[in-house]
Structure 1
Amino acid sequence: MSYVHDGAAYERDSRYLTTRITADGREGHPVEPGRYRLVVSRACPWAGRAVIVRRLLGLERALPMAVAGPVHDERSWTFDLDPGGRDPVLGIERLRDAYLARDPGYDRGITVPAVVDVTTGAVVTNDFPAITLDLSLEWTAHHRPGAPDLYPAERRAEIDAVNAEVYEDVNNGVYRAGFAGSQTAYREAYEALFERLGRLAERLAGSRYLVGDTVTEADVRLFTTLVRFDAVYHGHFKCNARKLTEMPVLWAYARDLFQTPGFGDTVDFVHIKRHYYEVHADINPTGIVPAGPDLAGWLTPHGREALGGSPFGDGTPPGPPEPSEAVPVAHTPWATAARA
């Protein structure tokens, strides 16, 4: 399958299924614990947002999660991590089946995250920016005690503005560089990415978080790109002006978030690397997955407590991940720490 189109700038297919799951069910899908299944891959940064928000808000029981494997072919993500290669609840081998249950003529991206209605086996939505906001705003009756307010009303305009810039130049910017079909398109994306990272570093030099004194949706969205930067984007996507570890403010900020419960404990570096280096055959035709980088630095002191603020404000951190959802230790920096 080809991701790079000769001579063309990369454009993400944003024709999402935008049906929303709401507290009042106004679009036909009411919030109902256990009715829906959040399908993700730990390799995917867009799905990573939903995994983090779900965990921070304590929605594990209300919204069960299915984890697809880290690689896929032109047809679909697959449930090869599950016994028999089938999701035990949906009973399907490929996420594609849930999209076709929604629309037999579906001809758009088979993407994660996707929320599937277990009662029908059909995808309700794959609109990843809306999914996390609705988890914050529509699923409040099922948030854990002490859950943070990731999208506070008084900060929404600022969060939205930051998110728009981060999406254009950073979240999607790394893809625009990596999948560029011409030198000109690549250079434009590359320059916009590092200019934006510089501005974000200036913003974060005096502020522990992007908006306000606590973690918000904006931090979640930036984190999922930063945590993949050195492992994937620096080399694989040619975003190589500097490594994250060579950008002191952003590196400390990323470590601060990584060490916050609900962030780093959702990250699977093995899945991340396997996905990008194995699936993108037009960029990496050998399929060889790099052995590095060394992950030990993610657990080193970051010193950002001195800036004030606290991740959860008046709330509390989530507890440990449920055993069935824990990332294998061997796929994390904690494996390095255990060997030390």
Structure 2
Amino acid sequence: MHGPGYRRRRAGRGFAYYDLDGSLVKDDERLDRIRGLAIPPAWKDVWICPWPNGHIQATGVDAAGRRQYRYHDQWRARRDAEKHERVLDIARQLPDVRDAVKAGLRTRGLNRDRVLATAIRLLDLGAFRIGSEQYEEENGTYGLATLKRAHVSVRGERTFYSYTAKGGIDREVEITDRPVATVVRQLLERPADAGEDLLAYQTEDGEWRDVTSAEINAYLKEISGAEITAKDFRTWTATVLMAAALAEAPPPATKTARKKVVSAAYKQVSEQLGNTPAVCKASYVDPRVVDRFEHGETVAQALRAADEALSSGGMADRDTQKVLEQAVCQLLSA
């Protein structure tokens, strides 16, 4: 990190902190602020902002050699609010994106558009992380773009995905979708010398090309005309799942009961996403869903309507998703 700042050095079982001029920081006010940042002990090359209102409060290098950051709470809250508002805007555009995906899936052969449309449908239905070639190489973990054929199986209209996700979490995903199953089956049946990655398409000259995470994001922008990323799908899915989990819970009678419901909902959503409740809360779920729940507002009515239609055979799963998403949009826009 460039610029003046405090430095951290190991001192016995703890750490000592040094001022801009190299002198030891001793006063309680500054030490309390620094300790309050909860900088992980494993971080190296730690830099600490000398000003309490700086938007980046600290940086360091983690055990994997990645630069990490601690942001000011208010700055982080503002950025998170902007992120969720942007994702809400994107959610309103999803019907058009899904129409473009349907068109891509209707093409024939394992061409670029059909395979990339399948990737977007999988993001939409499976809440996959997109993954990266770097994480696969360094950590042996996978996301959608790096899934191997060995991770996937097909039975009828159902596809099954079993792999090690980010953080070493074993993830199992089941998706029921006929167009996806058709394409995935063809991808699994392609020649053995066409590569071990699941997602690959055949160019006009007959060569096989593996799909990359950058290509999936580029295709999303291409069909939407907007700055949509794979992570936006996952963020929106987390918010919708949280809204549904809170709506399904019995109305809590006390503040303690309400906290337990929220905690259980975060746990449920994190299991569906393949991460932890803390990560789910900090990085994915729009906090306005919880705020509305605490004020007695949920999407319970939309959920009941969808369930009734499903039980009478009058609504497909995709229609259920549409009804629920519209209700969440209305809830967050209120």
Which range, TM-score by smaller chain?
Answer: under 0.3
Choose between structure 1 and 2: higher helix proportion. Answer: 2
Whose relative contact order is higher, 1 or 2, with alpha carbons under 8 Å and at least 6 apart?
1
Question: TM-score normalized by structure 1?
Answer: 0.26
Question: TM-score normalized by structure 2?
Answer: 0.27
Choose between structure 1 and 2: higher strand proportion. Answer: 2
